[in-house]
C-alpha cells in the first residue's frame, strides 16, 4: 500500500484550499456580475468640498426597489468610522465631522444591486455647526420635600458647552453650568421623571440624557387651619349651649377633626380637646325628609323617612318610615341621617 509523507499531505491540503478559495471568488464574481449596477450618484460631485456640516447626498431612483443603502466612512476601504443607513428615498442628509469622507450607495430589494462608484467628499464647515454630545449616566443624589439634586456625565462640544438644562417631563426646572444641578420648588410627595440636555454658545441642543426618577419627600403641614366661620347657637339651656359652625379649611393638610370646647360658668376655663368631626352638626326640623339607617346582621339597611319633631345634633327624634309607615325613634346623626337601633 502506498504511503504519503507528511509533506505530501500538506501540499495536497494547500492545493485543495486554494481550489476552494478560487471557486468561491469565481462564484462571488459571477454573482456580482448578475446583479444590477448601483444607482447613479448625483451629489456631492467627486472630490466636492462642502462648507456645511450637514452634507446632502442624492442619487437617481431605481425601478422596483424597496429602498437604498448609503454607506460612508473615513477611508476608501470603508473600515474607519463606517456607517450604513437604510433609506426609502433617493436622498439623505448626514451630519459629518470635518475632514475627508468616502461614500457609495446601492439599491436594496429581493436582490441588492452592486455598490455604486466610490466618491470622496471633503467637509469644511463654517462657524459652529455641531451640537454637544449627549449627557450620560444621569442619577439622583439627594431628595428633599421640595427639591431634587442630580448629577451626570459631562457633554463634549467642538467649542464649549455653556450650560445644562434639567427637565421634569417637558418642563425646564433648573439650569447649571456643570453637574450637580438642584431643582427647587417641586411639589412634595410627587414622582418626577428627569432628563438633562446640554447647550452651546451657538444655541445647539444635545440629545436628552437617559431618564432618572425620584419621589419628593412627604408633605409637611406649615399653615394652621382657618378659623371656623358662622358659629351659632342651636339650643340654649340653663347650664349648656349647643353650637354649630361651618367647616374650617386647611390649605396644605387635612383637618384632624379636633376643636376646643370651653366650659361655661368657669372663671378660669380649662381648654378641653374633643373630637368634633369635620361636618356641621345636624339640626332636624319637623316634616323634614331624612334617611333611616339601621344595622341588621352586620349589614346597614337604609330607608326614606320623615322627621316628626325638631331635634338637635345627636338628640333623639321620632321619625316615620315611609316604606312601612311605622313610627320609630332614633338618634340624629347628620343633617339627613337618623340612626335607628332595633
Question: What distance lies between CA 215 and its chain's CA centroid?
Answer: 13
pLDDT at 306 over 90: no
Query: Check: CATH 3.90.79.10 for 283-339?
Result: no
Q: Cα separation of 330 and 311, whole Å? A: 11
Q: What's the confidence (pLDDT) of residue 71?
A: 96
Give the Cα separation of 96 and 105 in Å (integer).
Answer: 17
pLDDT digits (tens, 9 = 90+) for 12-21: 777 777 667 6
Per-residue model confidence as pLDDT tens digits over 150-189: 999 999 998 899 999 999 999 999 999 999 999 999 999 9
pLDDT tens per residue, range 119-138: 999 999 888 888 999 999 99
Q: Give the H/E segment covering residue 127.
A: none
- Examine the pLDDT at 27 and tell me if it is beyond 70: no
**CA-based Rg of the chain, rounded to a whole angstrom?**
42
Over residues 36-63, the pLDDT tens digits come to 899 999 999 999 999 988 999 999 998 8
Q: Cα–chain-centroid distance for residue 81?
A: 34
Domain with CATH 2.60.40.10 in the chain: 41-123, 136-215
Cell numbers placing 178: 456643570
Q: Which residue has the higher pLDDT, 244 or 89?
A: 89
- Phi then psi dihedrals of residue 31, to 5 deg: -65, -45
**Cβ–Cβ under 8 Å, residues 165 and 195:** no
Query: Which top CATH class is 41-123?
Result: mainly beta
CATH code 2.30.30.760 region(s) in the chain: 283-339
Q: Which residue has the higher pLDDT, 255 or 92?
A: 92
How far is residue 191's CA from residue 196's CA, in Å, rounded to a whole number? 17
Instruction: Classify domain 136-215 at the CATH topology level.
Output: Immunoglobulin-like (2.60.40)
Q: How crowded is residue 203: how many other Cβ atoms within 10 Å of its Cβ?
A: 9
CA distance 140 to 152: 9
- pLDDT score at 268: 41
Amino acid at each position: 500500500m502506498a504511503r504519503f509523507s507528511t509533506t505530501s499531505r500538506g501540499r495536497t491540503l494547500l492545493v485543495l484550499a486554494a481550489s476552494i478559495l478560487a471557486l468561491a471568488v469565481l462564484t462571488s464574481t459571477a454573482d456580482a456580475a448578475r446583479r444590477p449596477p448601483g444607482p447613479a450618484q448625483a451629489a456631492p460631485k467627486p472630490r466636492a468640498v462642502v462648507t456645511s456640516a450637514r452634507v446632502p447626498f442624492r442619487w437617481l431612483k431605481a425601478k422596483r426597489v424597496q429602498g437604498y443603502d448609503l454607506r460612508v466612512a473615513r477611508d476608501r476601504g470603508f473600515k474607519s468610522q463606517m456607517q450604513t443607513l437604510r433609506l426609502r428615498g433617493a436622498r439623505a442628509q448626514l451630519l459629518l465631522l470635518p475632514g475627508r469622507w468616502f461614500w457609495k450607495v446601492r439599491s436594496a430589494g429581493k436582490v441588492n444591486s452592486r455598490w455604486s462608484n466610490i466618491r470622496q467628499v471633503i467637509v469644511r464647515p463654517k462657524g459652529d455647526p455641531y451640537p454637544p454630545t449627549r449627557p450620560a449616566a444621569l442619577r439622583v443624589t439627594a431628595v428633599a420635600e421640595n427639591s431634587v439634586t442630580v448629577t451626570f456625565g459631562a457633554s463634549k462640544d467642538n467649542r464649549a458647552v455653556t450650560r445644562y438644562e434639567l427637565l421634569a417631563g417637558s418642563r425646564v426646572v433648573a439650569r447649571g453650568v456643570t453637574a450637580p444641578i438642584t431643582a427647587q420648588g417641586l411639589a412634595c410627595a410627587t414622582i418626577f421623571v428627569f432628563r438633562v440636555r446640554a447647550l452651546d454658545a451657538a444655541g445647539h441642543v444635545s440629545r436628552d440624557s437617559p431618564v432618572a426618577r425620584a419621589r419628593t419627600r412627604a408633605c409637611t403641614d406649615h399653615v394652621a387651619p382657618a378659623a371656623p366661620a358662622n358659629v351659632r347657637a342651636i339650643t340654649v339651656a340653663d347650664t349648656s349651649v349647643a353650637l354649630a359652625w361651618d367647616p374650617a379649611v386647611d390649605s396644605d393638610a387635612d383637618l384632624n377633626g379636633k376643636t376646643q370646647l370651653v366650659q361655661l360658668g368657669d372663671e378660669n376655663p380649662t381648654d378641653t380637646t374633643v373630637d368634633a368631626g369635620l361636618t356641621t352638626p345636624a339640626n332636624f326640623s319637623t316634616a323634614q325628609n331624612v334617611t333611616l339607617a339601621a344595622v341588621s346582621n352586620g349589614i346597614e339597611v337604609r330607608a326614606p323617612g320623615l322627621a316628626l319633631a325638631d331635634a338637635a345634633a345627636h338628640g333623639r327624634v321620632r321619625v316615620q318610615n315611609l316604606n312601612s309607615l311605622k313610627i320609630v325613634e332614633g338618634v340624629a346623626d347628620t343633617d339627613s341621617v337618623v340612626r335607628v337601633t332595633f
